[in-house]
Amino acid sequence: MDRLTAMKVFSEVAATGSFTATADRLEMSRAMVTRYVAEMEQWLQARLLQRTTRSVTLTDAGEIALRRCQQMLAISQDLEEESATTAQGELRGQLRLTCSVSFAFAQLGAAIADFLALHPQLKIDLDASEGSVNLVEKRIDLAIRISAEPDPLLVGRPLAQCASALVASPAYLAESGTPQEPADLARHRCLSYANFGRSVWELSRGHRTERVAVSARFSANEATTLMRAALAGGGIALQPTYLVSPLLRSGELRAVLPEWSLPVMTIHALYPSRRHLSPAVRALLDFLVLRFAQGPW
């Protein structure tokens, strides 16, 4: 059996803790996953995984083998990337990206479709999630992250500024009234983003800054969920403008305290500093920089 594939399967089992989940992720049968792991154990003459009816965990030998496998897989990927152009200069191969669910939904999905139309030999695998992803372990080529300060262990380029707005449905404002000052927010139902300003919202107007403790009966770690709750009349939500601008233009949502501004963050395209940029990653990065430099987006 292909030992490089066996290392990939073993690494995925270690990451997911499940033979079934690995089979689904790699699109192979569970029996094939079991065979590849058995091949690894026979090759290394050691038990790599401790299996019970409820969990799959690494043995001490498995911990050592996993680190070596990740190194080998990284080298293999680097070799693939270095040859990721055809004789005609066309980009080919596969890129792995990660970003938040809301940014994938509102912006990145369409951007990737347009980019792939320019490079038909390329494939892109997008991990849209809210959790922190280890780029090296998951072999991620490019991460799109929104923050005030990016991870200092990563390098990359800023793509655009990420502004936010307070929004609510017309029905909610008709029922509960429209806040006139930041302090009024304390008397409203607020929909809070768990990873940013969960209980205190900071608003600025000129030289004046107000910090308001809000009552958030509903919080979530994902922006599109809060957007849907706001559309349903659930309250006032703090939302990125890249997500809610179309709804503000259509009138499905209305801006609350529009003369006040919220903290602005930056959308970064990041990659592990230890790795050089492949031609495909560089092409995608240049494409995204140009795309988001052209406003409004």
Q: Which amino acid is at 9?
A: V
Q: What is the pLDDT of residue 110?
A: 96
Q: What is the pLDDT of residue 71?
A: 83
**How does 50-83 read in b/e, with b if 16+ C-beta sit within 10 Å?**
eeeeeebebeeebeebbeebbeebbeebeeebee
Which of these, 129, 103, 124, lies nearest to 113 by C-alpha position?
Answer: 124
Q: What is the pLDDT of residue 297?
A: 66
- What is the mean pLDDT for each group of 10 consecutive residues in the chain (297 residues)? 87 90 91 93 92 87 90 75 57 91 96 96 92 78 86 80 96 97 96 79 95 91 95 96 96 98 93 75 93 79
Under the phi-then-psi rule, with left for phi > 0, alpha for psi from -120 to 50, and beta for the rest, what region is 189?
A: beta
User: For 101-139, what is each residue's pLDDT tens digit?
Assistant: 999 999 999 999 999 999 999 999 999 988 777 787 778
Q: Prior bond to 296 cis, omega within 30?
A: yes
Q: What is the pLDDT of residue 174?
A: 97
Q: What is the pLDDT of residue 228?
A: 97
Q: Residue 200: count other Cβ atoms within 10 Å of its Cβ.
A: 10
Helix ranges (H only) for the chain are 3-16, 19-26, 30-44, 60-82, 101-103, 109-118, 170-176, 223-231, 241-250, 279-293
